């Protein structure tokens, strides 16, 4: 394993390393809290939301020194101590609360770097995230994860890693991945990187519950080091064995009953709030374990999981906490589920998640509807009036630069044949039927008559070509599989993406080979991206040159590109969103998928031919 040497950003940079450890600051903080020394900053005229007591207390002020909270005092107390504070900020009656903590996200889903992600997160009042970077791990193995960790260290945001646990998602017989995170590689990441806080979502829950040797060796690598294990599970019948294997959280509780089972089995629940236009919005159903079945919220958090750059700006963690409130939680409960509870889950509530003395001064200023107006990160005002400050703008201009090898990961030596051979006799085709919300895909069989042209055959059966091309350079250009999508709705042209979960091979769908070829050639030239093509023209595109997954632009630019892409995608007639399209090669979700090896029947974990006599 070719390790990178972990390095720290300059102390002058605005990162999570800007603050000195609490162990070196206790005397100073005690002096400030006792009134013997002046605070660096006092935020006065506020109501304070305590996540410890779940109350909002009026007429309070927060004393801050060295980027940490010294004390929360009655309003005006700072005037009665020796020495004036360095600064006084008038909150004008707003609510001061701890910054939000997202316990489960994938930075790569936003198609931006960690440094770029920080801008949107802070605008949404999020000051800490726990990310699972299995996407870049599937492309670049442990080296890619270490690049992401270096990126995270330079970000003006506290970023911790839940080490990817299921790379590849299945086996080399079913797909070709760029990475292979063995138990030994995972153990090494834990040992080298202190911010490796937990094992990431163990997606292969069936092998786990069946006692698979490799799966349990990976679990052991975390458990031996005292690291918690994050999960990913469907099906109440698997809960007991999954919990017995050491898994202690999941974001995949999709309804109240499995959420209830998981809580009673000792598993933390992360209620996933997805934008309402996506299939990821499971919070309203799963939260019914509280509102209908009477469970406590003490071991329940909220999370985002996946956001593209556009949705990240509009539907951040603050939106998810408001969704929890709309679903029946009080303001104080909802905010605690987004701050103190995630901190407690990962054993960091002594540093983040509340307004206690000694904690980081990661704070937000809210109105009564829990809208974020200001964000302080380590005592620095980085968002004011819902706009980033010059301090944050400067920090974002000094972003981490990924190594050159990260910009060269689409290894397709030549454009292959992108449509299957036209059947010369009547036959049966195994096809993938898509339907909203787009997560589960259905296995259909279509009777194909002998036709004179592809146009007639596709139109008669409402089919679209779909092809997956291996892009990691492991098959010498031979990793190509053809298939059909039924009811996809593409009217003409082609769409393509290098974000084909989880192995991230290139997936192209189209009505004709010429436009499919142009789409693939465009992604090869840009070394990754998502695009819409029609009649020989690129209609819309988000270029993703870093590992074929990430843009190197700021979040605002990528958000605008993504908005244009989604509009073009919808205009083209595609019936599932592009993020659902990216899941078509994900060979761990029922019923049928297509990888570079062919059509995969997921429950059986076996390949089937495209045509059958």
Specify the pLDDT at position 516.
98
Report the alpha-carbon distance of residue 18 to residue 11 in Å, rounded.
6
**Tokens for 465?**
């070509």
Inform me whether the pLDDT recorded for 1 exceeds 50.
no
- Tell how far CA 247 is from the center of its chain: 19
Give the confidence band of 34 by pLDDT, cuts at 50, 70, 90: very high
Closest CA to 305 of 332, 282, 333, 331: 282
What gap in Å lies between CA 476 and CA 487, rounded to an integer?
33
Is the pLDDT score of 254 beyond 50? yes
User: What is the structure's pLDDT at 424?
Assistant: 85
- pLDDT tens for 520-543 read 999 999 999 999 999 999 999 999
- Per-residue model confidence (pLDDT) at position 484: 98
- What is the SS3 assignment for 488-538? CCCCCCEEEEEEECCCCEEEEEECCHHHHHHHHHHHHHHCCEEEEEECCEE
Omega before residue 437 within 30° of 0, cis: yes
Backbone φ and ψ for 305, nearest 5 degrees, come out as 70, -85
What does the pLDDT read at residue 3? 66
What does the pLDDT read at residue 590?
87
CA distance 298 to 52: 11
Does the pLDDT value for residue 10 go beyond 90? no
Positive or negative torsion for Cα 491, 496, 501, 505 = positive
Classify residue 449 by its DSSP letter: P
Mean pLDDT of the region 5-15: 83
Give the closest residue to 576 by CA, choosing from 437, 402, 404, 420: 437
In order, the DSSP letters of 379-447 are: TEEEEETTEE-HHHHHHHTS-----GGGG---B-SS----SPPPPSS-EEEEEEE--TTSSSBEEEEEE
Record the pTM.
Answer: 0.95
Q: What mean pLDDT value characterizes the chain?
A: 95
pLDDT tens track for 120-172: 999 999 999 999 999 999 999 999 999 999 999 999 999 999 999 999 988 89
Q: Which of 593, 588, 510, 499 is nearest to 549 (CA)?
A: 499
- Residues 6+ away with beta carbon under 8 Å from 393: none
User: For residues 489-523, b (16+ Cβ closer than 10 Å) or e, as one string?
Assistant: ebeebbbbbbbbbbbbbbbbbbbbbebbbbbbebb
CB 480 within 8 A of CB 417: yes
Q: What is the pLDDT of residues 41-60, one digit of tens each?
A: 999 999 999 999 999 999 99
Calculate what percentage of the chain has a pLDDT beyond 70: 99
Note whether 505 and 138 are within 8 A (CB).
no
What's the pLDDT tens digit per position in 429-464?
999 999 987 888 999 999 998 877 899 999 999 999
**Is residue 409 within 8 Å of residue 499, measured between CB atoms?**
no
Report d(CA 222, CA 229) in Å as an integer.
Answer: 7
Task: Give pLDDT, residue 276.
Answer: 77
pLDDT of residue 2: 53
pLDDT in tens, 368-407: 999 999 999 999 999 999 999 999 999 998 889 999 999 9
- Selected residue with higher pLDDT from 292 and 450: 292
Per-residue pLDDT reduced to its tens digit, 468-501: 999 999 998 899 999 999 999 999 999 999 999 9
Q: Give the mean pLDDT of 357-362.
A: 98
Q: According to the model, what pLDDT value does residue 234 have? A: 86
Region 25-39 average pLDDT: 97
Compute the distance between CA of residue 255 and CA of residue 287 in angstroms, rounded to an integer. 8
The pLDDT > 90 percentage for the chain reads 89
Comparing CA positions, the residue from 517, 512, 473, 519 lying closest to residue 496 is: 519
Cβ–Cβ < 8 Å for 360, 70: no
d(CA 280, CA 284): 11
Strand ranges for 219-337 from DSSP E: 229-231, 247-250, 268-272, 300-303
pLDDT per residue over 324-340, tens digit each? 999 999 999 999 999 99
């Amino acid at each position: 394993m070719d390790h990178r040497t972990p390095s720290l950003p300059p102390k002058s940079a605005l990162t999570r390393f800007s603050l000195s450890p609490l162990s070196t600051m206790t005397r100073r903080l005690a002096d400030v809290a006792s009134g013997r020394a002046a605070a660096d900053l006092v935020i006065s005229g506020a109501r304070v939301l305590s996540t410890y007591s779940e109350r909002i207390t009026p007429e309070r002020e927060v004393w801050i020194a060295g980027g940490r909270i010294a004390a929360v005092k009655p309003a005006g107390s700072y005037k009665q101590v020796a020495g004036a504070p360095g600064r006084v900020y008038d909150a004008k009656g707003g609510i001061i609360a701890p910054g939000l903590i997202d316990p489960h996200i994938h930075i790569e889903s936003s198609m931006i770097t960690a440094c770029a992600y920080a801008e949107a997160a802070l605008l949404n009042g999020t000051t800490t995230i726990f990310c699972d970077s299995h996407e870049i791990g599937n492309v670049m193995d442990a080296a890619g994860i270490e690049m992401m960790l270096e990126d995270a260290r330079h970000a003006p945001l506290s970023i911790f890693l839940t080490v990817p646990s299921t790379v590849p998602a299945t086996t080399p017989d079913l797909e070709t991945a760029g990475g292979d995170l063995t138990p030994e590689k995972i153990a090494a990441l834990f040992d080298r990187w202190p911010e490796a806080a937990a094992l990431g979502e163990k997606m292969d829950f069936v092998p786990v519950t069946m006692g698979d040797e490799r799966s349990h060796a990976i679990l052991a690598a975390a458990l031996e080091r005292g690291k918690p294990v994050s999960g990913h599970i469907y099906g109440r019948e698997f809960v007991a064995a999954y919990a017995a294997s050491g898994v202690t959280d999941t974001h995949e509780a999709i309804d109240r009953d499995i959420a209830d089972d998981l809580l009673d089995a000792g598993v933390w629940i992360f209620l996933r709030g997805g934008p309402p236009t996506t299939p990821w919005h499971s919070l309203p159903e799963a939260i019914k374990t509280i509102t209908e079945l009477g469970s406590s919220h003490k071991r329940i958090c909220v999370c985002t999981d996946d956001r593209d750059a556009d949705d990240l700006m509009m539907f951040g963690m603050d939106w998810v906490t408001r969704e929890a409130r709309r679903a029946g939680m009080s303001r104080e409960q909802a905010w605690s589920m987004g701050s103190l509870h995630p901190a407690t889950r990962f054993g960091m509530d002594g540093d983040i998640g509340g307004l206690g003395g000694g904690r980081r001064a990661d704070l937000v200023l809210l109105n009564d509807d829990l809208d974020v107006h200001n964000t302080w990160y380590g005592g620095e005002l980085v968002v004011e009036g819902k706009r980033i400050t010059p301090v944050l703008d400067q920090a974002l201009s000094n972003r981490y630069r990924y190594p050159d090898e990260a910009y060269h990961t689409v290894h397709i030596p030549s454009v292959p044949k992108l449509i299957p051979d036209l059947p010369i006799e009547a036959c049966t085709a195994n096809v993938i039927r898509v339907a909203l919300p787009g997560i589960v895909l259905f296995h259909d069989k279509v009777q194909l008559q002998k036709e004179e042209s592809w146009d007639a055959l596709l139109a008669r059966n409402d089919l679209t070509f779909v092809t997956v091309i291996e892009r990691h350079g492991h098959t010498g250009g031979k990793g190509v599989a053809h298939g059909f999508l039924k009811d996809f709705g593409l009217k003409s042209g082609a769409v393509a993406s290098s974000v084909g979960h989880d192995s991230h091979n290139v997936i192209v769908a189209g009505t004709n080979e010429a436009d499919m070829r142009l789409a693939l050639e465009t992604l090869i030239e840009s070394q990754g991206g998502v695009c819409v093509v029609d009649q020989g023209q690129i209609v819309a595109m988000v270029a993703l040159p870093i590992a074929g997954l990430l843009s190197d632009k700021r979040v605002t630019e990528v958000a605008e590109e993504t908005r244009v892409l989604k509009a073009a995608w919808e205009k083209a007639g595609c019936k599932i969103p592009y993020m659902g399209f990216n899941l078509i090669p994900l060979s761990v979700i029922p019923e049928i998928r297509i990888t570079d090896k062919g059509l995969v029947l997921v429950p059986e974990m076996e390949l089937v031919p495209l045509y059958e006599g």
